[in-house]
Chains A and B, each alone.
Chain A
């Protein structure tokens, strides 16, 4: 999955597990950034429906000068309380507004903006506190008009940002069961080394939910000179985005109320996510939690796995005679992948486009904010000529599995060597779930779809 339970350590801490990060241009010269947590939520979550953690610091980070350090961060902290001590229920009647007394278990959150300033202490600006989350989508009796209820939790802050934090339908799709069964790519399993009959892909993340933290910010709040760039070729038009979650170094149970835990000490990063699938399929299992713990500026230590990706070596082995050109390419430094994942694509290879942030190797979701939203988004983004899609930022509808699979298989190597001819298979391999995809997205903030209710969608 994009980054769902992708490392041994974080797989045991779902409330801090950053599963997906999106960043894309939205109307009125804004950028929307979404970070997801709590992978693979079964919609029927009662009696304890899913929620954010009070002892986790959730961050959305923006690097606008290419050094792998955040220049602007938005910090989100949650607070949970029960309003009725005498019931075992999450709600004791229908919830139609965020103030209903029938709703027992509530979360609110604060938003703080942190801006780094060279040679000075960071500027810390509390933007809001007590912002309500919506409840989870329970069922037709408890949450009878869920879209309206969730919409009440979309808040415009006095400082201009639009925020939402709460449950959403999972937007990411992948044939996970197939991929991790020795690299099978349904529907091409008949060509696999261990061949079986061809069959359609199976969407492993159909009908599950996640918890999303979304913020819509004026472009000028994020760029290095506070401008709204219109020329995509200007360096200031590019920002790098990633999500991260931190826990305090010490955790203990309270002496007087020994069921309560508290955190103390400095914050330590336990999860992060820039490019989808980076930690999942690039970083070796033994180093995935280490990767989660470091900041993008330290990604040089993982660059060798991008220059010689294991997956590129596996494909010709698992699909004999299917990837001869890729097989011949293996052993060569994959500068195309280094550009896509670690530095951004420099000016030149793609006419009218760049999202290059410099020579610092850092896994960030790079977005050229001067590229306007596409009126007809294409799921394969830049691979299909749509410069507003991945790997220029990431929209909720982008088919990032297919894009990255094809890139690793050689589709993007001609960007740095025009004599290289990708294998014919590269244009047809894809995540096998796309043709049967059942996802509904919103046309407006927070863009990810209405979460599935447990009443209608039982646990898988």
Chain B
């Protein structure tokens, strides 16, 4: 795993962390996140499945599993939105 900040992650990952296919549960989260950090079409170009795993909600620590990679980043607001959606 490679820990990165969320901003760096969004800026560098061609996968587009929040706009992934095959993970329906995080679709609404992607829209919510886009409000404060709009992804570019290029960042949303990934077509394969991806999974997001919240390791530690209190710290906002999230792990993205995509292709054959694991990317850990911290985003308390994203985690908070996900948890709100689960209620």
Could you tell me which A residues sit within 8 Å of B by CB distance? 248-250, 252, 254-255, 262, 264-267
Closest partner residue, chain A, to B22 (CB atom): A255
CB distance from A90 to the nearest CB of B (A): 30
Say whether, besides A255-B22, A255-B24, A250 and B51 are in contact (CB < 8 Å): yes
A interface footprint on B8-35 (CB within 8 Å = 1, 0 otherwise): 0000000000000011100000000000
Contact between B24 and A264, CB atoms less than 8 A apart: no
How many angstroms from the CA of A266 to the CA of B2 in the assembled complex?
11
Interface residues in B43-87 by Cβ distance below 8 A to A read 48-51, 53, 65-70
Shortest beta-carbon distance from A273 to chain B in Å: 23
A248 proximity list for chain B (CB < 8 A): 65, 68
**Are B22 and A265 touching (Cβ within 8 A)?**
no
Q: 13 A-B Cβ contacts within 8 A?
A: A250-B51, A252-B51, A254-B22, A255-B24, A262-B22, A264-B65, A264-B66, A264-B67, A265-B51, A265-B68, A265-B69, A265-B70, A266-B68
Q: Which residue of chain A lies nearest to B48 when distances are taken between CB atoms in the complex?
A: A264
CA separation between A376 and B6, bound complex, in Å? 65
Q: Which of B24, B48, B65 interacts with A249 by CB under 8 Å?
A: B65
Q: How far is the CA of A255 from the CA of B27 in the complex (A)?
A: 12
Instruction: With both chains docked as a complex, state the minimum distance between the C-beta of A254 and any C-beta of chain B, in angstroms.
Output: 7
- Name the residue on A nearest B71 (C-beta): A265
The number of residues on chain B lying at the interface, defined by a beta carbon within 8 Å of a beta carbon of chain A, is 15
Given A250-B65, A252-B51, the answer on whether A266 and B70 have CB atoms closer than 8 Å is yes
Residues in A with CB closer than 8 Å to B53 are 250
Closest to B65 in A: A265
Contacts of B24 in A (CB 8 A): 255
Residue pair A267, B68 in contact (C-beta under 8 Å)? yes
Query: Which of A254, A255, A266 makes the CB contact (< 8 A) with B69?
Result: A266
**B66: A residues at CB distance < 8 A:** 264-265
Min CB gap B42→A, angstroms: 21
- A249 nearest CB neighbor, chain B only: B65
Kindly provide the distance from the CB of B43 to the nearest chain A CB, expressed in whole angstroms: 18
B1 and chain A: residue at smallest CB distance: A266
B residues near A, CB below 8 A? 1, 22-24, 48-51, 53, 65-70
Contact A252–B49 (Cβ < 8 Å): yes
* Known A248-B68, A250-B51, A255-B22; 17 more pairs at CB < 8 Å: A248-B65, A249-B65, A249-B70, A250-B65, A252-B22, A252-B23, A252-B49, A262-B49, A264-B49, A264-B50, A265-B65, A265-B66, A265-B67, A265-B69, A265-B70, A266-B69, A267-B68
Which residues in B have their C-beta under 8 angstroms from that of A254? 22, 49
CA distance A65 to B1 in the complex (A): 27
Bound Cα distance from A1 to B33, whole angstroms: 53
Contacts of B68 in A (CB 8 A): 248, 265-267
Chain B positions within 8 Å of A264 at CB level = 48-51, 65-67
The smallest C-beta distance from B74 to any residue of chain A, in angstroms, reads 18
**Nearest Cβ distance between residue B15 and chain A, in whole angstroms?**
11
A255 closest partner in B (C-beta):
B24
B10 to chain A, nearest CB (A): 19
**Distance, CA A265 to CA B24, complexed state (A):** 17
Complex contacts, B23 vs chain A, CB 8 Å = 252, 255
Chain A nearest CB from B86 CB (Å) reads 17
Hey, which chain B residues are within 8 Å of A262, CB to CB? 22, 49
Contacts of A250 in B (CB 8 A): 51, 53, 65
B14 to chain A, nearest CB (A): 16
Q: Which of chain B's residues has its CB closest to A264's CB? A: B65
Contacts of A255 in B (CB 8 A): 22-24
Task: List B contacts of A249 (CB < 8 A).
Answer: 65, 70
- How distant is the Cα of A249 from the Cα of B48 in the complex, in angstroms? 15
In the complex, A252→B53 CA distance in Å?
12
Q: Report the Cα distance A250→B68, complex, angstroms.
A: 10
Q: How far is the CB of B17 from chain A (nearest CB, A)?
A: 14
The distance in angstroms between the C-alpha atoms of A249 and B71, with both chains bound, is 12
Query: How far is it, in angstroms, between the C-alpha of A204 and the C-alpha of B68 when the chains are bound?
Result: 39
In the complex, chain B residues whose CB is within 8 Å of the CB of A265: 51, 65-70
Q: Which of A254, A255, A262, A264 has the most CB of B within 10 A?
A: A264
Q: How far is the CA of A255 from the CA of B26 in the complex (A)?
A: 12
Give the docked Cα–Cα distance between A264 and B23 (Å). 11
Complexed CA–CA distance, A248 and B67 (Å): 9
Q: How far is the CA of A267 from the CA of B51 in the complex (A)?
A: 14
Complex CA gap A248/B69 in Å reads 9
